[in-house]
Chain A
Amino acid sequence: MADIKEMECVEIKAPCRPEYVGVIRLAVLGIASRMDFSFDQVEDLRLAVGEACAAAVERAEKNGRQNTDIVVRSCIAQDRLTIDILDNAGRREELPADFNTDSDPRSIADLLITLLVDEVNVFGDDEGTKVSLVKYSGQPHA
């Protein structure tokens, strides 16, 4: 983690509700645009962050935790953008390793996230989850 000193972070704290997902997506547009990403890479990131936030919002609604906050921390480093999405929306149910469309669109969205960024890490407890997304810049990612 030698590059951690050079990281610059932007943190957004917003109510864990649908109307703020768009706000967060916009912020990601601004942050990612500062880096060496193509337009489509930026859009991929926004889509991934949007899906991760939507999952948290959905979970907050299900668990009656709409009054909690969602925190999106974006850290710009030389070669990568790391975006952590932290929520207090309650425990995330273990998703089946396998799924089909009709039974669980949420799982498709999770799979979609893994296709859009280079690394995805998920940590969860009873209070909520932390989803960590990493996208590397400066190389021709699909």
Chain B
Amino acid sequence: MPNVVDDKVARWSDENVERLFREYAETRDPAIREKLVVIHQNLVRYLASKFANRGESLEDLIQVGLIGLVNAVDRFDPNRGTKFSTFATPTIVGEIRRHFRDNSWSLKVPRRLQELNAAANKASEKLTQKLGHPPSVQEIAKEIGATEEETLAAIELGNAYETVSLDSKLSNEEDDGKQTLTEFLGETDSGLEDIETLRDLTKAMEKLEPRERAIIYYRFFRDMPQTEVAKKLNISQMHVSRLQQKALKRLKDILSN
């Protein structure tokens, strides 16, 4: 693909490009605009490649760089005497850097760096077993397919932002070695939920008929057997059972709404 672009570029001499810019400035013809963008694609590729080791894919960088290029093509004034590359470079670089700004998250550790760090650690372990001694940076770099510089940077920076397991021990001492980070994490007090449930239940109870309410109260708040409740209300135990079922169903219906 890059070769195709190169061939196309080769066919455009400086004068031709200048003529195209003048034509575009007058006509604003989208076809000419596209030609101009294609001709200068390599400038975007060149600049994007300089930013390629920061955790964003080269293709993404080229895409945002092309947005800058299109803007530059639109705004370029061929009569001012500046060469287009001089004019377009700040715009393209600006787009690329803004892309980094917009995509940086609070931790500011690019994903690729974290991945590289993980890969380096893994490779280090693997190579230690294979070689019988801790591997050199060169050996790790070769194993994970990165440059030595990238590998070192990943090891250095990656460690600074190492994530900590919730199960990791908080102390190295054997005695209290059982304490892990998890135990210090707060959690929602279930008592709070109980209070809410109780409030809802009280409201729901008010909607029951007096006899139903009494049955629920004796059965579940006083733990009385059905036979005793039957005596208290002067009805049969079967009746209590039926009313209790009905009342519970109503409560469920009310609470689930």
Select A39's contact among B40, B53, B97, B110, beta carbons within 8 Å: B110
Q: How far is the CB of B165 from chain A (nearest CB, A)?
A: 24
Contacts A33-B157, A99-B86, A115-B89 aside, 5 further interface pairs with beta carbons under 8 A come to: A29-B153, A29-B157, A39-B109, A43-B53, A100-B83
| CA–CA, A7 and B97, complex, Å | 29
Within 8 A of A (CB), among B90-129: 90, 93-94, 97-98, 100-101, 104, 108-110
| Stretch from B27-35, B44-52, B57-65 at the A interface | B44-52
Kindly report which residue of chain A lies nearest to residue B84, judged by CB atoms.
Answer: A100
Question: From residue 94 to 123 of chain A, which have CB atoms closer than 8 A to chain B?
Answer: 98-102, 105, 108, 111-112, 115-116
Residue of A nearest to B81 (CB): A98
How many Å lie between the Cα of A44 and that of B85 in the bound state? 21
**What number of A-B contacts does a CB cutoff of 8 Å give?**
71
Partner-binding segment picked from B144-152, B203-211, B243-251: B144-152
- Please tell me if A78 contacts chain B, counting CB pairs below 8 Å: no
- Please tell me if the beta carbons of B85 and A101 are within 8 angstroms of each other in the complex: yes
Residue on A with the closest CB to B17?
A100
Partner of B156, one of A29, A38, A47: A29
Interface residue count for A (Cβ, 8 Å)?
A: 26
Assuming the contacts A47-B51, A100-B14, A101-B43, asked whether A108 and B89 have C-beta atoms less than 8 A apart, the reply is: yes
Assess whether A26 is interfacial by the CB under 8 Å rule: yes
Cross-chain contact of B42 among A25, A26, A101 (Cβ < 8 A): A101
Complex formed: what's the CA distance from A40 to B97 in Å?
8
Report the minimum CB–CB distance from A104 to chain B (whole Å).
9
A30 within 8 A of B: yes
Q: What residues of chain B lie closer than 8 Å to A2, measured between beta carbons?
A: none
Chain B residue contacts of A26, Cβ below 8 A: 149, 152-153
Q: Is the interface of A mostly helix, strand, loop or mixed?
A: helix
Q: How far is the CB of A101 from chain B (nearest CB, A)?
A: 5
The answer to whether A38 touches B90 (Cβ under 8 A) is no
Closest to B107 in A: A39
Contact (Cβ within 8 A) B101 A101: no
| Inter-chain contacts of A101 with B (CB < 8 A) | 40, 42-43, 46, 85
Please list the 10 inter-chain residue pairs (A to B) with the smallest Cβ-Cβ separation, ordered nearest first.
A22-B149, A39-B108, A101-B85, A98-B83, A100-B85, A100-B83, A101-B43, A40-B100, A115-B93, A111-B89
* B38 beta carbon closer than 8 Å to chain A: no
Contact with B along A50-61 (1 / 0, CB 8 A): 010000000000
Please provide the chain B residues from 140 to 166 with a CB less than 8 Å away from any CB of chain A in the complex: 147-149, 152-153, 156-157
